[in-house]
Amino acid sequence: MREKYIEQQLAKEVRSRGGLCEKWNSGTSGWPDRIVILPDGKVGFVEVKAPGKEPRKLQTHRHEQLRLLGQKVYVLDHPGQIGGILDGIENSM
């Protein structure tokens, strides 16, 4: 299973929940692949990886920067995780 397939499944599920799943093109390296924006002001960041792959050191650093700012950051490497990730974003404060 490829990362692209997992990313497509994420975008499909986000749309089905009435949200946006936008690619993050910040101009600097290491930021999560997708910004997930759901109804009621719910936002989360998702790093998509191929199954079993881990974020690189810079990516882990960027994730921590976002978490220190109170943001939700997830690493997704299997389509079966999508529902739980989106539930986590929807249930965030």
Model pTM score: 0.94
**Paired tokens of 25:** 């093109």
Amino acid at 40: D
CA 52 to centroid of chain Cα atoms = 16
Q: Which domains does the chain have, with CATH numbers?
A: 3-90 (3.40.1350.10)
- Alpha-carbon gap, residue 46 to 24, rounded angstroms: 10
Each residue's pLDDT expressed in tens, for the chain with a length of 93 residues? 699 999 999 999 999 999 999 998 888 999 999 999 999 999 999 999 999 999 999 999 999 999 999 999 999 999 999 999 999 999 986
